[in-house]
Amino acid sequence: MNTEQVEVVNPFDRKAIGHVSLTNWDQIDQYLNDAQKLFQHRKSWLPAHKRIAILNKVAELMKGRAEELAFQIANEGGKPLIDARIEVARAIDGVGLCIKELSHLAGQEIPMDLTAAGSGRLAFTTREPIGVVVAVSAFNHPLNLIVHQVGPAVAVGCPVIVKPASATPLSAQAFVHMLYEAGLPEEWCRLAVCKSAVAEKMVTDPRVNFFSFIGSGAVGWMLKSKLAPGTRCALEHGGVAPVIVDESANLESMLPALVKGGFYHSGQVCVSVQRIYVHKGHGSGLAQMLATEAKHLVVGNAIEEKTQCGPLINPAEVTRVESWVNEAVQGGAKVLSGGHRLSDTTYAPTVLLNPALDAKVSELEVFGPVVCVYETEDINHSIHLANSLPVAFQASVFTNHLDVAMKCVREIDATAVMVNDHTAFRVDWMPFAGRRHSGYGVGGIGYTMHDMTHDKMAVIKL
């Protein structure tokens, strides 16, 4: 048995807060063998009522430990407690949603007598679990993302091996252990905290039937290219979320949504507000209003109640964000707030006005507390710029005119367009996905459960 440990630190002060055992390839190889045998021997499948009972028990365990789970999210991931508590509530609801969606996971009758060739036959479909699932997750929602990947697998009856982000494995470990406590046999869900080379070997193994990935596009597309023949997948990457502000919009009323959407979790969200397009004459005023709010945000250790913006996940990310902002400023962007690091682990909430369109902050996902405001000629120019990148995820428009709202809904290249709300809005039963470079497949608990099953048809000759 491997005894090597991975130390987990608080990203604000870098103090050790726990550790988990590193999983080596020999252990993962055994996990894959166990999972494959479970799936191949159908008599070992857990009936739906047992899976429902396990998930109900997990939800109750999570409710009883909600504050402990929220503190752990803040402590290992740097998400402020106020937001970590919301994540826990969402995760509990997500487990419940897995149960509810099982009642909708059904087949249908296929009409056969539409031609003489099919006459005299009865046909219907059922849905079966797809097989062994391997899930690789991200750090920014260390409990809820695991629920979104592991919960559906357990619900539909797929054996699952989950690799959490190396920086935030404690929340995933807690959820897996609660599954065991609720009665799930360990071989149905395994935690694999492993090095990148081992993870790649696991993901691309031919025993894997479905690969779920949440993380960077570079890694996701690379792994997809190496999947074994027949392995299906879903990839969730990031975006550079655009917001269009129409001339009719009330700037003051939209301000709280833009602040929340841009600086929630210090911008470490795949659909965080990053590019705001405003008609000339209004951009400077909106940017200054945003900057005023940003200056009042409390930056600090996420485990402190007063903190509104926590640290970035590691010091290297602070250095990267700092370099991107410096490049934008050298290229002509005006800094209205922030624009500098506060410590080795924190960066000041930053508002930039009119960065160059080829600056990194304009073309790439910042994944930090940086919001950019651009002045445009008109609504068509704003839509053109919103659609100008190879990434496409969620977007938004603020307007008091229905025709403008519908124009943006029709013409913005995005999987979801929020009207009079920020780009990071989400409920867990809605489809959630990136287009083009931003992802592959559709997330959301019900959609993931559908992806982790497939149709089987019976045709009965009468």
Q: What are phi and psi of 10, to 5 degrees?
A: -70, 125
Local structure of 24: helix, strand or coil? coil
Catalytic residue among 76, 87, 101, 236: 236
- For CA atoms 146, 151, 156, 157, give the dihedral sign: positive
Tokens at residue 61, please? Answer: 């365990």
Tokens of 343: 């410590």
Crossing angle of helices 402-411 and 379-386, in 10° steps, is 30
Going across the sheet that includes 109-110, the strands are: 109-110, 121-129, 453-461
Among the residues of 157-250, which ranges form H helices?
170-181, 196-203, 217-225
Residue 272 has a CB neighbour count (10 Å cut-off) of: 30
In the three-class reduction of DSSP (H, G, I as helix; E, B as strand; rest coil), residue 245 is classed as strand
Would strands 334-337 and 189-191 be described as parallel, antiparallel, or unpaired? unpaired
b/e code 430-447 from CB counts within 10 Å (16+ = b): eebbbeebbbbbbbbbbb
Active site residue 270: yes
Of 98, 189, 233, 270, the catalytic one is 270
Type of residue numbered 98: C
Q: Which is nearest to 272 in space by CA: 423, 80, 395?
A: 423
**Unique residue bearing structure tokens 């002045």:** 375
Whether 408 is a known active-site residue: answer no
Could you list the active site residues? 236, 270
